Amino acid sequence: MPQSLLATDGYKFSMAEAGWPLRKETFYYSHRKGGPQVMPLDLEAWVRGLLPEPQAEDYAFLARHDYEMGVGFKAAILRKERMSVRAVPRGALFLPREPILTITGPSALVSWLEPMLLQLNYRVQVATQALQDREALARTLATVSCEEEKRIALETLDQVGVRAMSIRVDSEGYLQRVRAQVKELVDIVEDPSRIFEVGLRAATCLEQHMLALRACQEAGVQRTSNVEGARRLGMIPVGTMGHEHVQRYGSDDAAYRAMHERRPQRSSYLLDTFDTLTSGIPAAFKLISEEPQGGDSIRFDSGNKKLQYLYAVTRARDLGIKPVIILEDGLDAQMTREFEELRKQVGWEPTTQFYGYGGHIVARTMSHALTRDRVAAIYKLSCSGATPVMKFGNELAEGKQSVPGTPVIFRRRTGTGPLGLV
């Protein structure tokens, strides 16, 4: 069954409209950690099976929620024959940080794939643990969240030639854990409208994420980055900008202006692609100062967010502006309490400070540990047109720097030296 066009994150649509949807681009997939792992799939066939079949009602839903798509996106999403896939073969071992999959094609199409493609990490982890220690995996997967998660595990076991095991589905247990997690967050911020959900990339499958969204809704949260989930459950799809958008433009200022000047909706400026303090905040505040009543927001991601937050608040007051503040990336209940206390200390209005949660509510509530964070799975833009591009971020020890260009893995066949080169 073809995938829905809406089975992706909302910012994929806004970035396509503010970018170049027909431009030839390359993205790569990698695991930053986790040791040697095995690939159980024919990756090219699997990736092509994820591609969407757009329907008129998909575009109508997007238009009703401030994501009206232009002719460039509509053409790009249909140009599947222009997409090429280079991947490690089925059964291959790969190492952390190796780019095991590169996808090249029209920008909007290859970018669209990210949330569903990142769920590949679950299959890889099941395959790897099955070959290392089947009994340990049987304990790990004794209980899962949904039927789709169980089906994927059993399919993966078959692909690597390991005998199936007993797996119990406990959807109600997962719902209860997510609901409790979200309720705790709502109690801290005192208003569910200040919270939105961004965990599609942290889920093992779409069905599991739909369960998480149901639990969010029951706890009062109505906004999600999962556009298909928003349509099915009557929620509100959200999202403006990811790192790839800033990488395309090569500077924060150019990227922010493209979003601001090509879409009439409010923009959210992601600050950390190059450097939050020396580039992201100055560029965002310069643009916000030109239209201080526009309601635009700034989004903190990697690095020392408390330091960045205090600098941003101080600088905003110096400039006489009041951007909406959005905090994401690794937030949990304790960090939320700390940022709420910080907000009160500096006198920032609660209606202008929002929180986005992904793995904290979607993955940490799973009954097993085979999460995306365990292997740090990523899918990053590496070449836009003829220009290699990188994400730098504000992590120590180059933790989140990405690989530029069109990477290829080389394996040593004989002799001594490194096992592989990129």
Residue 221 has pLDDT above 60, yes or no: yes
- Tokens 């940490």 identify what position? 364
Paired tokens of 392: 């730098």
Residue type, 395: E
Residue 157, classed as helix, strand or coil, is helix
Paired tokens of 306: 């408390």
Enumerate long-range contacts of 229-237, CB under 8 Å, 24 or more apart: 229/200, 230/6, 230/10, 230/65, 231/6, 231/61, 236/65, 237/10, 237/65, 237/67
- How far lies 304's CA from each of 252, 269, 393, in Å? 19, 17, 11
Residue 150: other Cβ atoms inside 10 A = 18
Q: How confident is the model at residue 398 (pLDDT cuts 50, 70, 90)?
A: low
Residue 60 has pLDDT above 60, yes or no: yes
Q: Per-residue pLDDT averaged across 184-210, rounded?
A: 98
Q: How confident is the model at residue 251 (pLDDT cuts 50, 70, 90)?
A: very high
Tell me the percentage of the chain whose pLDDT exceeds 90. Answer: 91
Residue 343: other Cβ atoms inside 10 A = 19
Q: How confident is the model at residue 97 (pLDDT cuts 50, 70, 90)?
A: very high
Residue 418 has pLDDT above 70, yes or no: yes
Q: How confident is the model at residue 145 (pLDDT cuts 50, 70, 90)?
A: very high
| Residue 146 neighbours by CB under 8 Å, 6+ apart | 169, 171, 174, 205, 207, 208, 211
Q: Per-residue pLDDT averaged across 173-199, rounded?
A: 98
**pLDDT tens digits, 296-345:** 999 998 889 999 999 999 999 999 999 999 999 889 999 999 999 999 99
Residue 395 has pLDDT above 70, yes or no: no
- DSSP letters, 280-340, are IHHHHHHHHHHSTTS--EEEE-SS-HHHHHHHHHHHHHHHT---EEEE-SS--HHHHHHHH
pLDDT of residue 379: 97
Taking the C-alpha atoms of residue 50 and residue 123, their distance in angstroms, rounded to an integer, is 15
Q: Per-residue pLDDT averaged across 232-236, rounded?
A: 98
Taking the C-alpha atoms of residue 254 and residue 387, their distance in angstroms, rounded to an integer, is 16
Q: Per-residue pLDDT averaged across 223-246, rounded?
A: 97
- How far lies 20's CA from each of 78, 83, 262, 391, in Å? 15, 16, 11, 18
Q: How confident is the model at residue 1 (pLDDT cuts 50, 70, 90)?
A: low
Residue 414: other Cβ atoms inside 10 A = 5
pLDDT of residue 2: 76
Q: Per-residue pLDDT averaged across 368-384, rounded?
A: 97
Paired tokens of 106: 């029209």
Tell me the percentage of the chain whose pLDDT exceeds 70. Answer: 98
Greatest mean pLDDT among 243-247, 392-396, 410-414 lies in 243-247
Q: How confident is the model at residue 269 (pLDDT cuts 50, 70, 90)?
A: very high
Domain boundaries of the chain, sorted by first residue = 10-125+370-421, 187-364
Q: Per-residue pLDDT averaged across 392-410, rounded?
A: 76
pLDDT of residue 412: 77
CATH of 10-125+370-421, one of 3.40.50.300, 1.10.1060.10, 3.40.50.720, 3.20.140.10: 3.20.140.10
Give strand ranges (E) for 47-188. Answer: 84-87, 93-94, 101-106, 143-144, 168-169
Beta bridge partners of 195: 355
Taking the C-alpha atoms of residue 213 and residue 194, their distance in angstroms, rounded to an integer, is 16
Residue 124, classed as helix, strand or coil, is helix
pLDDT of residue 393: 74
**pLDDT tens digits, 64-84:** 999 999 999 999 999 999 999
Q: How confident is the model at residue 385 (pLDDT cuts 50, 70, 90)?
A: very high
Rounded mean pLDDT of the chain? 95
Q: Per-residue pLDDT averaged across 349-357, rounded?
A: 97
pLDDT of residue 396: 56
Taking the C-alpha atoms of residue 108 and residue 127, their distance in angstroms, rounded to an integer, is 31
pLDDT of residue 419: 76
Among positive and negative, which fits the CA dihedral 262, 263, 264, 270? Answer: negative
b/e sequence 346-373, b meaning 16+ C-beta within 10 Å: eebeeeebbbbbbbbbbbbbbbbebbbe
| Residue 387 neighbours by CB under 8 Å, 6+ apart | 250
pLDDT of residue 421: 81
Taking the C-alpha atoms of residue 190 and residue 108, their distance in angstroms, rounded to an integer, is 38
**128 burial class (0-12, 13-18, 19+ CB within 10 angstroms)?**
buried
| 187-364 under CATH 3.20.20.70, yes or no | yes
Paired tokens of 388: 């290699």
